[in-house]
Amino acid sequence: MSQDNLLVIEQDAIPLILSDTIKIATFNLFNYLEPPFAFYDFERIYTAEQWQKKQNWIAEYLIEYKPDVIGFQEVFSPESLKILVAAHGYGYFEVVDEAEVIDDFICRSPVVAIASRYPITHIEAVVPDKELAVSMGLKDDFTFSRQPLRATIELPHIGECDCYVVHFKSKRPMIEHENNDNDESRTQTIIQTLKAEVTGSWGSSIQRGSEAALLLMSIIERREKTGLPMMLMGDFNDSLSDGVLAHLLTGSLRFISESESDVILAKYRLKDTWDLYQATDNCAEMAHRTPTHYYGMKKSVLDYILLSCEFDAQYHSSLFEVSEHDTYDRHLINPSFERDSQSTDHGIVCITLALRA
């Protein structure tokens, strides 16, 4: 981009470059924990060399792709991450929760974080509505498995925008069968394990789907109150086409015509950036979507960025459109031990928003 398309202003003595493009990324860091702390059990501690290698790998991504706003997941050491990203131009960094520490040095329950080159004007934890939770058949003390955050960021041209970062409940079964009965036959063990697998997996699905529904209700309520543009990014731990998350992309209302529904929902609807990219002139043809996670032979898209209508080129009043959609996955499909041994088990999704003419 030429200098003619850039505007430099001063805000709180921090020079900001207002570009015609904005890059947004979601980045699962995979056990980002500074030694000598351990993640999940006492043997899982990075050596000094491994930790530096992980730091370098993250830094190399930031240098190459230069996202302006990044939603992070699996953060155990937010202070270390804040220092790392600050060295690469991210003057704004926030978390709303902290990891749990047991036995003095073993950590679990990592948190989400957000980093930005542009000012974060407000930060808040998203909490579920108790009355809605009860109406859904949940307990009134229902909580998210990982605390989502909402950061209001002052973005170029569009002004304040609400950016949500999430890490929904994983598919790991919530119930596990422990065989403590020496007299239990192999058949009995298999049956009990099957029961735990089925019920535990469904329990995780209930938690994940409930998190998505209650988060969406909070997003809608906030949108009604402020009218600010919205972004939702993170590790969804499931496909958006799956039943328990499908309501995040609500496209119609029952008993209302499609045309009327479009008008009513336009303000509140979130759209997958992949679909928005496919609908623009920047995408010459329908391309294959790159998976963001591999488990054995199974590949999945688990990491997403969703946007409100202000970023939809098909919406008459939109200011930006999705001009690029990239999934960084070299470390997953063609890994090098020297380069990638301390990377992450997820692909990194990064989109480019271009100001519409």
Sign of CA dihedral 89, 55, 151, 220: positive
Amino acid at 143: T
- With a cut of 90, say whether residue 221 has pLDDT above it: yes
Tokens of 40: 């999940």
Q: What is the mean pLDDT of residues 272-284?
A: 85
The whole-chain average pLDDT of the chain stands at 89
- The DSSP-derived string for 171-190 is SS-S-------TT--HHHHH
- With a cut of 70, say whether residue 265 has pLDDT above it: yes
pLDDT at 2: 37
pLDDT at 149: 98
Which of 51-65, 267-281, 338-352 has the lowest average pLDDT?
267-281
- The DSSP-derived string for 42-80 is TT----HHHHHHHHHHHHHHHHHH--SEEEEEEES-HHH
Q: What is the mean pLDDT of residues 96-110?
A: 93
pLDDT at 8: 39
Amino acid at 48: A
pLDDT at 176: 66
- With a cut of 60, say whether residue 9 has pLDDT above it: no
Pick the closest to residue 114 from 77, 76, 155, 164 (CA basis): 164
pLDDT at 69: 98
- Kindly indicate the confidence band of residue 175, based on its pLDDT and cuts at 50, 70 and 90: low
- With a cut of 90, say whether residue 263 has pLDDT above it: no
Which of 105-119, 176-190, 273-287, 305-319 has the lowest average pLDDT?
176-190
Q: What is the mean pLDDT of residues 27-36?
A: 97
pLDDT at 7: 40
- With a cut of 80, say whether residue 198 has pLDDT above it: no
Q: Using one digit for the tens of pLDDT, what is the confidence trace for 40-69?
A: 998 899 999 999 999 999 999 999 999 999
Q: What is the mean pLDDT of residues 317-324?
A: 94
pLDDT at 51: 98
Q: What is the mean pLDDT of residues 163-178?
A: 81
- With a cut of 70, say whether residue 164 has pLDDT above it: yes
pLDDT at 203: 83
pLDDT at 286: 62
Q: Using one digit for the tens of pLDDT, what is the confidence trace for 179-192?
A: 666 666 777 767 77
What CATH number matches the domain at 21-355, 2.60.40.10, 3.90.1010.10, 3.20.20.100, 3.60.10.10? 3.60.10.10
How far is it, in rounded angstroms, from Cα 216 to Cα 219? 5
pLDDT at 140: 92
Sheet (strand 106-108) strand order: 38-39, 106-108, 100-102
Structural domain boundaries in the chain: 21-355
- Kindly indicate the confidence band of residue 31, based on its pLDDT and cuts at 50, 70 and 90: very high
Q: What is the mean pLDDT of residues 291-310?
A: 94
pLDDT-above-90 percentage for the chain: 71
- Kindly indicate the confidence band of residue 335, based on its pLDDT and cuts at 50, 70 and 90: very high
pLDDT at 253: 66
pLDDT at 10: 40
Which of 71-85, 180-194, 239-253 has the lowest average pLDDT?
180-194
Assess contact for 172 and 207: CB atoms under 8 A.
no
pLDDT at 287: 73
Q: Pick the residue with more confidence: 200 or 337?
A: 337
